């Protein structure tokens, strides 16, 4: 997961983007997020990953973000509703070429409470979901 996530404003210092799922979902839906200080839309969402093994150039700007048109859902063994949210994120790496990031979450509904569970492993999804994400990115020229 991105260890640093900040909104960048042209006028003000960077601001913590808070919950990454919410920030990416807003980006995927094209929602504008406004600066808490000056009330103008943020210029970008900046992410920095804490890669191991000496990997460098982990600072990125999220250019675009996609979620499937239809979210996959099911009931777990406790009859809680589970929604699978895979994301395809197009990143501009600072000092390198663009990259693709595939984070995902499970949203589990327990009564009136939502629990967001970040996917800790490599994405595993039905091919139609991945095709949907790729087609959306391709339509935008990526």
Per-residue burial over 43-71, b = 16 or more CB atoms within 10 Å of its CB, e = otherwise: ebbbbebeeeeeeeebbbbbbbbbbbeee
Specify burial of residue 83 (Cβ count, 10 A radius: 0-12, 13-18, 19+).
Answer: middle
In this structure, are residues 28 and 22 in contact, taking their beta carbons and an 8 Å threshold? no
The per-residue pLDDT for range 75-96, each reduced to its tens digit, is 999 999 999 999 999 988 887 8
Please state the rounded mean pLDDT for residues 41-51. 90
For residue 99, list its beta bridge partners. 91
pTM: 0.85
Cα–Cα distances in angstroms (integers) from residue 66 to residues 41, 57, 133, in the given order: 20, 23, 6
């Amino acid at each position: 997961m991105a260890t640093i996530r900040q909104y960048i404003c042209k006028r003000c210092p960077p601001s913590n983007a808070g919950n990454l799922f919410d920030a990416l979902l807003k980006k995927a839906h094209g929602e504008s997020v406004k600066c808490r200080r000056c009330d103008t839309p943020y210029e970008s969402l900046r992410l920095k990953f804490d890669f191991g093994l000496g990997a460098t150039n982990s600072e990125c700007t999220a250019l675009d973000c996609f979620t499937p048109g239809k979210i996959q859902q099911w009931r777990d063994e406790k009859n809680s509703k589970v929604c699978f949210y895979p994301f395809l994120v197009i990143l501009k790496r600072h000092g390198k070429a663009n990259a693709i990031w595939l984070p995902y979450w499970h949203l589990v509904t327990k009564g009136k409470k939502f629990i967001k569970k970040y996917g800790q492993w490599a994405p595993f999804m039905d091919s139609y979901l991945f095709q949907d994400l790729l087609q959306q990115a391709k339509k935008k020229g990526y």
